[in-house]
Each structure stands twice: as structure tokens, then as C-alpha cells.
Amino acid sequence: MESSRDPAAFREFEHTGWETASRGYDQHFARLTRQTVPALLAAARVAKGKRVLDVCTGPGMLARAAVEREAQVVGLDFSGKVIKIARRNAPDAEFLEGDAQALPFDADSFDAVVCGYGIIHVPNPEAALCEMHRVLKPGGYLAASVWQSPAPTNGFGLLFGAVKIHGNLDVPLPHGPDFFQFSEPEKLRTAFEECGFADVAVAGVDQIWEVAAPLGMITAILEGGVRARGLLLAQTEEVQGAISATVANGIVQFRSADGTYRVPMPALVGSGRK
């Protein structure tokens, strides 16, 4: 698995990014990533009475849904600002500040672990996945989601396609692992197996990001994204304008009868048993 070549700087970039984007993420991205919640909870076998850890909890949508299934839930995130929002959204879960790569729990502590779009944000995803394996009880399941690869028919394809046409993907940001390194089913499966998981399964989840205007996706990324936002802001103003215009043009194909734009944002959910 690829890791950051500059883990301290990349972690700092991510941490500052999430402290800045916490409200925007809750406002724009949460209504998209909430669509992955049922698949993640089912794949991790979250049920009444189970002790569940939600790693990289963000606004706490997985934690909240697990509480609604009468599980005992702990959510973990490295951003204090994010944790405040999670506590408000999921008052019956417990939340802790901590790093996904060094989980502050004993081995064999949880019946289930879930991680929504977290492993694509840490400097060392292998450390994070192996930590999730360590804290699971034998027989417990991990379920983790990532985005599917960019394609002309999905939102990330439009965005990265436009950056390739007008701008530069190789910008002077702290080096992070490839954002899409787990975005093919075989790659996600291999990552789980490398950390010792058995019965590994990978499933696609079709999701739709509904935006009110052609520029809605760019606004959401600028207000609630971290890595994609950094990539956009590292371009010149002129290039940013050209990228926005190309993305907005591309989004017109997803216009629905009610006048909103329904952008496909498919995910993968990987799961495995300790």
C-alpha cells in the first residue's frame, strides 16, 4: 500500500484542512456519504448490544446509525472541531480525539469497526487498517468505504478530468498516498488481506450527489473538501475558473426533471473478518 513520503507534513495538511472544512463537510458531503451507511453497518454486522468503533467518524453519521441499532458506539477522529459536530449529531455515542494510525484501545476490544472514507486521508493507510484489525475481537468484522475510480460518468471523473485538461495534478502540496489506490475492487481486497482479514468481500454502492446548480459540486469541494480543495486552490485563478466551467458543463448531463443535478458518486465497501 502506498504511504505518504512526508507523513508529518501530510497529516498537518489534513488536520488543518478538516478543522477548516468540518462544517462544510457536514453541510455538503454528509448527505452523500450517509448513503453508504446501511452497506457499511450491514457488512460490519453491527447489531444490538455490539461494541462498535467508528474510525474517522467525521460528523458521526455512522456512529448515529449504529446507536439507532442499539449498539454501544465509540467514534474517533483527530479533529476537535469535527468531534464537536459529531457529538451534536450523535449525542448517544461516545467520541474520542485520536489518530487512526495509532488507535488508543487495547487489542480485541470491539465486535465491529467501521470506517467511512477514512483510509484515503491518512498518511499510512496500512497502519490504519492493521490497527483496526488489532482492536477487533477475533471473529469481528471491519467495513470500510472508499470512492470508486474517476470515470467520465461520475463526479470525480468530471473534476479530475477538468484538472487534467486545464491545470496541473502535480501541485506543491505535502505528498499524500494516491487518493484512488483502493478504488478498484481487487486493490481494496488485497489491502484488507495484507492486514490479516479473512472472508474479504468488496461491493459497489451506487450513490447520487444531488446539487442545486451546475457549480454546486465545486462549491461543495471548496467549502467541505480537503484534498480536492487543496488541488483546486493550488491552481492559478484563471485555471480554477476554467476547471469550474468545465465541471459545470459536464454536470448539465445529470440534470433531472425537478431541475436539480444528480451526480453519480459510486463507492466501494470492503469488509473482512478478524
Contact residues: ligand SAM, CB under 6 A = 14, 18, 30, 33, 56-58, 62, 77-79, 82, 99-101, 116-118, 121-122
Measured from the Cβ of residue 5, the count of other Cβ atoms closer than 10 Å reads: 12
Least Å distance, CB 230 to ligand SAM, is 13
What is the C-alpha separation between 69 and 204, in angstroms, rounded? 23
- Closer CB to ligand SAM, residue 14 or residue 111? 14
Would you say 24 or 140 has its CB closer to ligand SAM?
24
Helix, strand, coil tally for the chain in percent (to 5):
45, 20, 35
Instruction: Please report how close the Cβ of residue 229 comes to ligand SAM at its closest, in angstroms.
Output: 12
Task: Output 218 or 248, the one with its CB closest to ligand SAM.
Answer: 218
Quote the least distance from Cβ 17 to ligand SAM, whole Å.
8
We find the least distance from the C-beta atom of residue 58 to ligand SAM, in angstroms, to be 2
Which is closer to ligand SAM, CB of 129 or CB of 248? 129
Torsion angle (degrees, nearest 10) of CA 40, 136, 74, 31: -20
- Helices 237-251 and 216-224 cross at an angle (nearest 10°) of 130
What is the Cα–Cα distance from 138 to 249, expressed in whole angstroms?
Answer: 50
Q: How far is the CB of 166 from ligand SAM (least distance, A)?
A: 25
- Our CB check for ligand SAM shows the closer of 167 and 177 to be 177
Closer CB to ligand SAM, residue 23 or residue 137?
A: 23
Q: Contact, 174 vs 4, CB < 8 A?
A: yes
CB 157 within 8 A of CB 32: no
Q: Which residues contact 238 (CB under 8 A, 6 or more apart)?
A: none
CB-based contacts of 188: which residues, under 8 Å, 6+ apart?
144, 146, 182, 202, 268, 270
* Minimal distance, residue 14 CB to ligand SAM, in Å: 5
